Chain A
Amino acid sequence: MSTPLLEIRDLRAGIAGNEILKGVSLTIRAGEIHAIMGPNGSGKSTLANVLMGNPTYEVTGGDILLKGERINDLSPDERARLGLFLAFQYPVPVPGVTLVNFLRQALNAVRGQEVPVREFRELLFEKMDLLKMDRDFARRYVNDGFSGGEKKRAEMLQMAVLQPTVAVLDETDSGLDIDALRTVAEAVNRIMNPEMGLLLITHYQRLLNYIRPHFVHVLIDGRIVRSGGPELAEELEARGYEALEAELAASGN
């Protein structure tokens, strides 16, 4: 079997001495889609941020390997250039910077070379069409005054343009209306390819109806407490986390 795209080994991380991730392990291979579900505050976004190298969080143990290379000590931009992408739960506004300008610089950065203007425009418009976005939208300032749904769609546009190897989508479905969810999910399925790995963080089974995961993991209190196939998501949807927690407690786990 080939080297996993992303390998997380016993990852521990926190903030100001407060441990949030208490030993998370997860392996994503090429072509795989994984979903992480879990109650509010269980550490899902923390995991996403730590994978991307957010300096706010301190990694206190474990390893993160991207395509076999340990990336614990790499900066966020180095990770991005290696092919990692994070779609933020709360994308950050950058007033005065147009989406088109931002995307162009980002693409140049991850490719490590200047992309010709024409090629860039064609790529941008193709991906905007894929996401059913109005072309004028590219002239707006990044996330500045975007609606919740627009922000999420813009995150997907960035992913589509940058074409990462491993993408982490942190609650990309929340904030999207039903039609938008379908559009975005279809786009993700189009972007996904056998060389790529995907980690979806979500609260809702609905997203997983559109993007079928191969594996589902349940994160509670900084630990993955159960892993399974897509049926696990359905079970959670039906029974909730509390039932699962009670079961785990009963089994002494």
Chain B
Amino acid sequence: MSTAPLIREEGYKWGFYDPVEALYKAKPGLSHEIIDVISDMKGEPQWMREFRHRALEIFWKKQNPPWGSPELQSIDFDSIHYYVRATDRDARSWDDVPEYIRRTFDRLGIPEAEQKYLAGVGAQYDSEVVYHNIRKDLEAKGVIFLGMDQGLKEHEDLVREYFGTVVPPADNKYAALNSAVWSGGSFIYVPPGVKVEIPLQAYFRINSEAMGQFERTLIIADEGSQVHYVEGCTAPIYSKDSLHAAVVEIIVKRGARVRYTTIQNWSTNVYNLVTKRAVAYADAVMEWVDGNLGSKLTMKYPSVYLMEPGAHGEILSLAFAGAGQHQDAGGKIIHAAPHTTSTIVSKSLSKDGGRTSYRGLLKVYEDCYDVKAKVRCDALLLDETSRSDTYPTMEIDAPDVHIEHEAYVSKLSEDQLFYLRSRGLSEDAAAKMIVNGFVEPIVKELPMEYAVELNRLIELQMDGALG
């Protein structure tokens, strides 16, 4: 039974919760038994069950990364509920979603957005996907957009071929944890040449207290196809911490194009430790647009492996850390083929003692000539108590590469503030304007609705409302 969430942060508008008992809620803590329970309830094939058990062993053996935040040590793995099932249906119509869950997503504006500007929507509530739907015309063209569990049921061969190949369980402690207890997430397949012109969106909602959400997403963009996937997430504010450890794997085949946009807005009692990685083949384009505003601690470095000539990788990362938050974000690009190009742009904001870190890797393998890579990190400190650090790593093993790297940390400029104020803007409005301008290079990449949403979240964060 959940306790009522704290209403200490008034401005966080997503902090409400549904006071209901879940259909099934695993006792806190991890064990091989709990994995069998999950696997049984889902009716999974044997190979997946074994995959989970192996991953659990790996999780137990793996340490936290030595460079990771000391905060990681305070995660109490024994107090987390690893599996919370609110409903046993993944509905295709909102009418079939339990009333109280539907109301939650209504409040989050999801069904409305689906009608207005999305090609498909997936909605996850605690451990399970409760709703997913895709436009009929796209379905007719062979586009698959399912919850991951249903994807496994209906397309086992495809899942088995790719699952865990881009992010193996041994990649890191939290990828291992996810592999052991994963539940939900999206499964997307776009057939050759099919272009999904408007976004597919998934929304992840944690409702229970001390809950672990471990969704698993697999996107396969076949040759010459195109898709834009957007994810959003929120949670109630509880006194006990929750853990969100997702794994996202993306395969971008020859000439395909995938954009993956995240607007992360977890409440500040959520640890957000996510492994996101894509492989891009010949002439493919992979773009991560990663906005991190919420959570207590985020550690997330979306990666692109450029596997064949002509591949291009792009990572646009935006982080905003307010009081009590640490956003450790960035990106990794691995040039594993000649004639490949990449760009990383990172923008971070810290306020009220918040901390942002940019952590990046740029790697060029031997024999990968004609490589062009650009990394640019800008950090803006909004007051004296905030902090920002940059940890860029470059491993360049090839001679013929063109690399640009720039990193700047700056304070809110007195000159800019005075200039704007001399035109009548209050100090507050002037600071917001400077911040909006600072994040503009990333915001302008978003579809209009998300740009508006992101700007709104940034303004709330500026007011100290996201906490």
Contacts and interface: CB of A to CB of B under 8 A. Distances in A.
Interface in B414-467: 414-416, 418-427, 429-430, 433-434, 436-441
A55 B414 contact: yes
Nearest to A144: B437
A56 B421 CA distance: 14
Nearest to B415: A92
A109 interface: yes
B422 A162 contact: no
Contacts of B425: 77, 105-106, 109
Contact of B421 (A75, A96, A142): A75
Contact of B429 (A86, A88, A105): A105
Interface residues of A, number: 29
A96 B422 contact: no
A53 B427 CA distance: 13
A96 B438 contact: yes
A224 B451 CA distance: 52
Interface string B323-361: 000000000000000000000000000000000000000
Contact of A102 (B415, B423, B441): B423
A87 to B, nearest CB: 10
A189 interface: no
Nearest to B443: A96
A109 B433 contact: no
A92 B441 contact: no
Given A77-B421, A109-B424, A109-B429, A97 B436 contact: yes
A76 interface: yes
Interface in A85-135: 85-86, 88, 91-92, 94-97, 102, 105-106, 109-110
Contacts of A75: 421, 427
A215 to B, nearest CB: 24
Nearest to B440: A96
Contacts of B430: 77
A158 B423 contact: yes
A141 interface: yes
Given A92-B416, A105-B429, A77 B424 contact: yes
A77 B420 CA distance: 8
Given A55-B414, A105-B429, A76 B434 contact: no
A106 B438 contact: no
Interface string B373-401: 00000000000000000000000000000
Given A97-B433, A97-B437, A106 B418 contact: no
Contacts of A80: 421-424
Between A75, A92, A94, A110, the greatest number of chain B beta carbons within 10 A of the residue's beta carbon is seen for A94
Interface string A182-203: 0000000000000000000000
A94 B422 contact: no
Between B420, B424, B433, B438, the greatest number of chain A beta carbons within 10 A of the residue's beta carbon is seen for B424
Contacts of A110: 423-424
Interface in A57-85: 75-77, 79-81, 85
Nearest to B432: A105
A76 B415 CA distance: 12
A81 B434 CA distance: 20
B36 to A, nearest CB: 53
A55 B427 CA distance: 12
Contacts of B437: 94-97, 141-142
A94 B437 CA distance: 7
A77 B434 contact: no
A109 B423 contact: yes
Nearest to B444: A96
Contact of B438 (A77, A79, A85, A95): A95
Contact of B419 (A53, A94, A96): A94
A217 B175 CA distance: 73
A27 interface: no
A56 B438 contact: no
B366 to A, nearest CB: 38
Contacts of A88: 419, 422
Contacts of B434: 94, 97
Interface in B129-149: none
A218 interface: no
B427 A94 contact: no
Given A76-B418, A92-B416, A162 B433 contact: no
Contacts of A77: 421-427, 430
B408 to A, nearest CB: 12
Contacts of A158: 423
B423 A106 contact: yes
A109 B427 CA distance: 12
A172 to B, nearest CB: 15
Given A95-B438, A97-B436, A86 B422 contact: yes
A85 B106 CA distance: 48
Contacts of B439: 96
B426 A102 contact: no
A54 interface: yes
A52 interface: yes
Contacts of A95: 437-438, 440
B429 A94 contact: no
Contacts of B423: 77, 80, 102, 106, 109-110, 158, 162
Given A109-B425, A162-B424, A91 B419 contact: yes
B196 to A, nearest CB: 30
Between B416, B434, B437, the greatest number of chain A beta carbons within 10 A of the residue's beta carbon is seen for B437
Contacts of A94: 416, 419-420, 433-434, 437
Nearest to A86: B422
B433 A102 contact: yes
19 contacts: A75-B421, A76-B422, A77-B426, A80-B423, A88-B419, A92-B418, A95-B437, A96-B437, A96-B440, A102-B433, A105-B425, A105-B429, A105-B433, A106-B420, A106-B423, A106-B424, A109-B429, A142-B437, A158-B423
Pairs of residues from A and B, 7 with the lowest C-beta to C-beta distance, nearest first: A96-B437, A96-B440, A109-B424, A97-B437, A106-B423, A80-B424, A76-B421
Interface of B: 413-416, 418-427, 429-430, 433-434, 436-441
